[in-house]
Amino acid sequence: MIELDEEQQRPRAWFESLRDRICVEFERIEDEASDTPGRFTFTPWERSDPDGSPGGGGVQGLMKGRVFEKVGVNVSTVAGRFTPEFAATIHGAGDDPRFFATGISLVAHMANPHVPAVHMNTRFLATTKRWFGGGADLNPPIPYDNDTADFHAAMKRACDAHDPGHYPQFKQWADDYFYIPHRQVHRGVGGIFYDHLDGNFEANFAFTRSVGEAFLDIFPQLVRRRMDTPFNDEDKRRQLAYRGRYAEFNLVYDRGTLFGLKTGGNVDAILMSLPPVAIWE
């Protein structure tokens, strides 16, 4: 076990509670769609620092169902020391490699290609600085304008409740971040992405909670809107080809994947973002 102070404990508890509510809602959707609905399985894991001291761990939540072909909802709380090379790339860790991190990470790949895939992650990190980061972005193989508009409207409301400047700044950050340079395409239709929100713990924690609540409100609406839409072989082919692009981004460019691997996280939990099936054409 690792010892947590109050500013570390409160985000950890929030991320775990958000996970629990998301999993309940996703299982409700499975119940609505099938007599044999999917259910989450939860697998705890632990890590140690290279010197053998406790380094925290987490719980991987995974469901494979009729609506959610594969969805992972993971929470981790870890601490230790970055390697000197990696510490130089982390906010506030250049002079002191000790770190603490807790967060929730969610990726959903859907059975019906008309239902958008989605990613959501919020986190709290402590080095010589303490900050929040995260966001949510929509990844539809077959985009619908009203789905995109409703998702962005939910993120904008979450932002505007705290700072009217957040949404345009964090939307642009998402557009810039979720881009695949070697394909010259965006990974999806965007959302918001933010990082290094430090200085005012209470305000930044409140904003991060708002992002999580906005996701829990809007994404189930989009799933229910599209999950019964008929689809054909061509629709499925488009989905599988899109998933190939998604996998390329996560393996080549995603900072969260790199952070998990560099800090000795659970490999299965880190790579749960990869789709169950994909094609490259």
Annotated binding-site positions for substrate: 105, 121-123, 264-266
Q: Tally the C-alpha atoms within 13 A of residue 185's C-alpha that lie toward its C-beta.
A: 11
Name the catalytic one among 114, 119, 166, 186.
119
Q: Which two tokens stand for residue 155?
A: 């993120």
Rounded to an integer, what distance in angstroms lies between the CA atom of residue 131 and that of residue 117?
A: 28
CB 70 within 8 A of CB 62: yes
Query: Which residues are documented as binding site for a divalent metal cation?
Result: 109, 119, 152, 182
Give me the amino acid identity at 26: F
56: left (phi over 0), alpha (psi -120 to 50) or beta: left
Strand order in the sheet with 130-139: 41-48, 54-63, 68-81, 98-110, 117-126, 130-139, 190-198
Query: Which residues are documented as binding site?
Result: 105, 109, 119, 121-123, 152, 182, 264-266
Q: Which two tokens stand for residue 199?
A: 């200085």
Confirm whether 119 is a catalytic residue: yes
The catalytic site residues sit at 119
